[in-house]
Chains A and B, each alone.
Chain A
Amino acid sequence: MSNAHFSYVLRLGDNALIIGQRLSEWCGHSPFLEEDIAMANTALDHVGRARMLLTHAGDLEGAGRDEDQLAYLRDEREFCNVLLCELPIGDFAFTLMRQYLLDVYHLHLFEALCRSQDEVLAGIAAKAVKESSYHCRRSAEWVCRLGDGTDESHRRMQSALDELWGYTDEIFAADAVDEAMRAQGIAPPLAELERLWRADVEALLARATLSVPDDNWRASGGREGIHTEHMGVLLAEMQVLQRSHPGLAW
């Protein structure tokens, strides 16, 4: 086991956990009942994924940390999700546009990870890829409906996309961890994922009558623990019971 291997799986686990946490905020507040169900269902898929990935990360680390210790007892600077996942939910347009951008990435990522040399990770990917495939179908449909719907929905979707675009770069910026994982056959090359992602996203945005924003602003740092100011508040809420009553079973 290498430190890079632990870091790689932890990053995937943190992405799943933090986006699951954000989606669960929609519970009871969606535009209609079917969407309440879809939001909770998607949140649940991500939390389920987070549990498997964090458990695996804990095993790789070998320090005896389980899924809950990793989720509830780390501080902001130790979380390594991409910034895109932690941004507040915004309106329905913002949430669905972010989901789409993430779902396409997850679909290609987990398809590739099904062939990972890490058999546990390949097993998790085999389950996740099925979920991502229907997540993607749903969010892509919403991007089309809202992008090509009314003037208001178009404006909201374009504005969400403009806001989110600068955070997508970080997903594909390979660092030493990604390189080590690629070299060991554990993870796919990020450049290839980015190519697949871009092709899908640009084609769908065109169908949805939305314009691809300029690449003139980009933010990154999540994987090194340099988060947005929203992250500390999210963790304070998520971790409150474990932090205020340390060491108890729930």
Chain B
Amino acid sequence: MPPISSPGAEARFDATIAAEEKIEPRDWMPEKYRRNLVRQISQHAHSEVVGQLPEGNWITRAPTLRRKATLLAKVQDEAGHGLYLYSAAETLGVSREQMQDDLLSGRAKYASIFNYPSLTWADVGAIGWLVDGAAIVNQISLCRTSYGPYARALVRICKEESFHMRQGFEIMQTLCGGTSEQKAMAQDALDRWWWPTLMMFGPHDAESAHSQQSMQWKIKRQSNDELRQKFVDQSVAQAEHLGLVLPDSDLKWNAARDHYDFGAIDWDEFQRVLNGGGHCNRSRIKARRDADQDGEWVREAMLTYADKQRARAVEDAA
């Protein structure tokens, strides 16, 4: 649990933040800072865990053994990221069970992008290229976050995510270098995933509920809109390289801003999917609930076996 406040604790906390040093689990921290981090880190962990599902949907159908192996390795990495992140959140005095209960009961959110269905093999490419690509833009920035355990977990995660993005891009490249049918599959995936990916950065800065305080505490280092712009700017050249068209007729270079302008995001869709109205909201949570319920007897058996082993060790010692 976080230490009890002592005189000057808050001043020391503020000074640590101002000096760009890390807050560590044993340091005093404002309760709101702690809660804000628990929300953000657990949401990130849940996203990694739920994110196994749309890609897992294609492991059994991967079109070559090499693709099957890399996809398995990727999904395994995502589950591993979930573990690092739950561990980072646990240093803030919340248990993994509590966080998981919050996910299963719908109290906690996960990245809304995973409520879209993965329909074709090209979706596996598009998820790697765009969704992991967007996650990297966000997470590279978060490597400088003020909470030590989260920052350190992110450094590791970013290294693996960059492999995932390259794998996804390579899938898209192969499809785009293939038949017209394959290229159409790639374009269709891009058309469906582009806008939901832009929504991953969250609402515009002016409308973002948690942003301002998070920036002050240096939990977040760059605003939603800044990060989204960075992602759009990097994606234009990548899509050109693939010979694909980003599905935005308003997209054009703005020399005055030195950035690409892009069209309006459909925030009604964002809210609708976030609030449960997406294609897969129910099935994703159902899959996690089923895994939890189906696994209950396994977890119980583990505990019972561990108790028996302890009792035997005591008997043996006596």
Contacts and interface: CB of A to CB of B under 8 A. Distances in A.
B68 interface: yes
Interface centre among B68, B300, B304, by most chain A C-beta atoms within 10 angstroms, is B68
Contact of B179 (A32, A144, A149, A248): A248
A41 interface: yes
B156 interface: no
Interface stretch (A22-30, A169-177, A179-187): A22-30
A17 B60 CA distance: 11
Interface string A7-47: 00000000001001100110111111111110011011001
A152 B64 contact: no
A36 B181 CA distance: 35
Interface stretch (B75-83, B139-147, B250-258): B75-83
Contacts of B63: 72, 241-242, 250
Contact of B76 (A44, A91, A92, A250): A44
Interface centre among B76, B121, B174, by most chain A C-beta atoms within 10 angstroms, is B76
Given A27-B52, A47-B69, A249-B174, A68 B64 contact: yes
Interface of A is mostly: helix
A66 B101 CA distance: 47
B155 interface: no
Nearest to B179: A248
Interface centre among B178, B298, B299, by most chain A C-beta atoms within 10 angstroms, is B298
Contact of A238 (B60, B69, B295): B60
Contacts of A250: 63-64, 67, 121, 171, 174-175, 178
- What class of interface size applies to chain B in its complex with A? 35 or more
B290 interface: yes
Nearest to B51: A28
Contacts of A189: none
B304 to A, nearest CB: 5
B61 A37 contact: no
B66 interface: yes
Interface in B195-242: none
Contacts of A29: 287, 290-291, 294
6 contacts: A17-B65, A31-B295, A54-B65, A149-B305, A150-B304, A250-B175
Interface of B: 49, 52-53, 56, 59-61, 63-69, 72-73, 75-76, 79-80, 82-83, 86, 121, 171, 174-175, 177-179, 181-182, 287, 290-292, 294-302, 304-305, 308
